[in-house]
């Protein structure tokens, strides 16, 4: 069963038709890129699959108990936290357990009550299982990797610029180690070294990734399949990966009133093996260059 199954998806805003009867699946281990011209509906697609907006019609089915990490630049964040404390909230339950443990030891020092030690043992086991004592190192590595150290670890999240804030949200999302990562144009606010860090992160990430980007170099390094959200007619894209091939076809532009109508159809072709193969139509290359 795929991690995510989207079927019969149609969406439009006021007079603008986006997709009609779109379908695709995200499998475990898929690192899927989403490309397409400005305004074609890529961000809308991400918002639909995260449930933050409803489609006109269609089904979005996530496997049960999947932890999804979504980089939403406009997400509400705790503005009065320092960068370090904000990143620690990715492991809020662990830090809370550690706080409880410290309190128990203080109480024990006063009362000598052995029952307290039983609870302490449980908490200690949970902290060890969650690698609690390595979390600060992991947080530090992420701070440095994304260049957040230049902002300052005590900088308040509420006083960050848009780009700094996005980086902080990205860092927290990556630290939380979700099963699926959804990214909408993550390279916009990263410099070359930070993009390299993110590439390395994604390539060693075992979960699934869905990333919208206009940055072809970036996509080429991190994806094993691509879907294209397309305007107009007869645009057809094929991108193959080691395990699978996704064939994307846009709809014919059928609207008499010059409205743009798209259909996104993905078909999985099995049996490909060997190196990652990219089969790109000329239109797609043009599309990428235009972007
Ligand atoms: N809430 C909304 N109400 C009305 N129209 C919307 C809304 N959100 C998006 N749109 C329109 O839907 C279309 C698709 O928008 P979307 O943001 O998904 O495009 P995109 O492919 O992500 O573009 P870009 O590459 O520029 O980020 C655009 O024409 C946009 O103006
Ligand atoms: Mg967008």
Nearest CA to ligand 1 atom 13: 39
- Is 205 a domain residue? yes
pLDDT of residue 123: 96
Ligand 1 nearest-atom number relative to CA 47: 18
Of 107, 142, 175, which residue is a domain's last?
175
60 and 183 together in one domain: yes
93 and 213 together in one domain: no
- Is 74 a domain residue? no
58 and 185 together in one domain: yes
Domains: count for the chain: 2
Average pLDDT for 26-37: 88
Report how far residue 248's alpha carbon sits from residue 279's, in angstroms, rounded to the nearest whole number: 12
Average pLDDT for 148-167: 91
Query: Which ligand has an atom closest to residue 290 CA?
Result: 1
214 and 281 together in one domain: yes
63 and 186 together in one domain: yes
DSSP letter (8 states) at residue 109: H
Report how far residue 124's alpha carbon sits from residue 132's, in angstroms, rounded to the nearest whole number: 9
Helix (H, G, I), strand (E, B) or coil at 226: strand
196 and 276 together in one domain: yes
Helix (H, G, I), strand (E, B) or coil at 47: helix
pLDDT of residue 141: 95
Of 143, 175, 207, which residue is a domain's last?
175
CB atoms within 10 A of CB 248: 26
Report how far residue 107's alpha carbon sits from residue 118's, in angstroms, rounded to the nearest whole number: 13
Exposed/middle/buried for 199, CB within 10 Å: 0-12, 13-18, 19+? middle
- What would the pLDDT profile of 46-64 be if each residue is shown by its tens digit? 999 999 899 999 999 999 9
206 and 115 together in one domain: no
The tally of CA atoms less than 13 A away on the side-chain side of residue 278 is: 15
**What is the domain range of residue 171?**
79-175
- Is 72 a domain residue? no
114 and 168 together in one domain: yes
pLDDT of residue 251: 34
pLDDT of residue 63: 95
> What's 195's domain CATH number?
3.40.50.300
pLDDT at 73 over 80: no
- What would the pLDDT profile of 170-217 be if each residue is shown by its tens digit? 899 899 989 999 999 999 888 898 899 899 989 999 999 999 999 989
- Is 112 a domain residue? yes
- Is 31 a domain residue? yes
152 and 224 together in one domain: no
Buried b (16+ CB within 10 A) or exposed e, 72-109: beeeebeeebebbebbbebbeebbebbeebeebeeebe
Average pLDDT for 149-175: 91
Residues with CB under 6 A from ligand 1: 13-14, 16, 36, 38-44
Query: Which ligand has an atom closest to residue 15 CA?
Result: 1
Ligand 1 nearest-atom number relative to CA 41: 18
Nearest CA to ligand 1 atom 16: 41
The tally of CA atoms less than 13 A away on the side-chain side of residue 244 is: 20
Q: Are strands 245-249 and 19-26 parallel, antiparallel or unpaired?
A: unpaired
Report how far residue 169's alpha carbon sits from residue 157's, in angstroms, rounded to the nearest whole number: 10
190 and 278 together in one domain: yes
For ligand 1, the distance from its centroid to the CA atom of residue 61, given in whole angstroms, is 23
Nearest CA to ligand 1 atom 3: 13
Helix (H, G, I), strand (E, B) or coil at 12: strand
- Is 106 a domain residue? yes
pLDDT of residue 39: 86
pTM of the model: 0.74
pLDDT at 227 over 90: no
Query: Which ligand has an atom closest to residue 72 CA?
Result: 2
Question: Which of 171, 202, 207 has its CA nearest to residue 189?
Answer: 171
Q: What is the largest CA-CA distance in the chain?
A: 82
186 and 62 together in one domain: yes
Query: Which ligand has an atom closest to residue 47 CA?
Result: 1
Helix (H, G, I), strand (E, B) or coil at 195: helix
87 and 41 together in one domain: no
- What would the pLDDT profile of 267-279 be if each residue is shown by its tens digit? 333 322 222 222 2
Q: 126 vs 78, which has greater pLDDT?
A: 126
Average pLDDT for 161-178: 88
Question: Which of 227, 135, 273 has its CA nearest to residue 219?
Answer: 227
Of 175, 210, 231, which residue is a domain's last?
175
Q: Which one of 41, 74, 261 would you pick to mutate in the ligand 1 pocket, going by the greatest count of ligand atoms within 8 A of its CB?
A: 41
pLDDT of residue 74: 66
- Is 73 a domain residue? no
Q: 266 vs 148, which has greater pLDDT?
A: 148
Radius of gyration of the chain (CA): 22
Q: Which one of 40, 50, 183 would you pick to mutate in the ligand 1 pocket, going by the greatest count of ligand atoms within 8 A of its CB?
A: 40
């Amino acid at each position: 069963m795929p991690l995510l199954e989207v079927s019969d998806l149609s969406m439009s805003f006021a007079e603008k038709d986006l997709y009609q009867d779109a379908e695709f699946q995200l499998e475990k281990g898929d690192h899927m890129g989403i490309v397409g011209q400005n305004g074609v509906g890529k961000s809308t697609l991400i918002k639909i699959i995260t449930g933050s907006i409803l489609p006109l019609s269609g089904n979005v089915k996530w496997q049960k108990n999947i932890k999804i990490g979504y980089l939403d630049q406009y997400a509400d964040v705790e503005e009065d936290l320092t960068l370090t404390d904000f990143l620690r909230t990715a492991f809020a339950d662990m830090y809370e357990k550690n706080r409880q443990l410290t309190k128990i030891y203080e109480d024990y020092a006063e009362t000598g009550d052995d029952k307290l030690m039983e609870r302490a043992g449980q908490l200690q086991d949970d902290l060890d299982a969650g690698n609690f004592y390595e979390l600060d190192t992991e947080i530090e590595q992420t701070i440095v990797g994304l260049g957040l150290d230049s902002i300052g670890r005590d900088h308040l999240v509420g006083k960050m610029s848009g780009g700094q804030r996005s980086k902080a949200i990205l860092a927290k999302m990556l630290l939380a180690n979700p099963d699926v990562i959804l990214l909408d144009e993550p390279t916009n606010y990263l410099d070359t070294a930070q993009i390299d860090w993110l590439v390395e992160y994604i390539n060693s990430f075992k979960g699934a990734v869905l990333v919208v980007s206009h940055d072809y170099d970036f996509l080429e390094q991190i994806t094993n399949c691509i879907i294209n959200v397309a305007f107009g007619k007869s645009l057809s894209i094929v991108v193959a990966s080691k395990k699978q091939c996704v064939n994307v076809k846009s709809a014919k532009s059928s609207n008499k009133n010059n409205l743009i109508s798209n259909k996104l159809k993905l078909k999985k072709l099995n049996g490909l093996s060997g190196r990652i193969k990219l089969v790109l139509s000329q239109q797609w290359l043009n599309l990428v260059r235009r972007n």
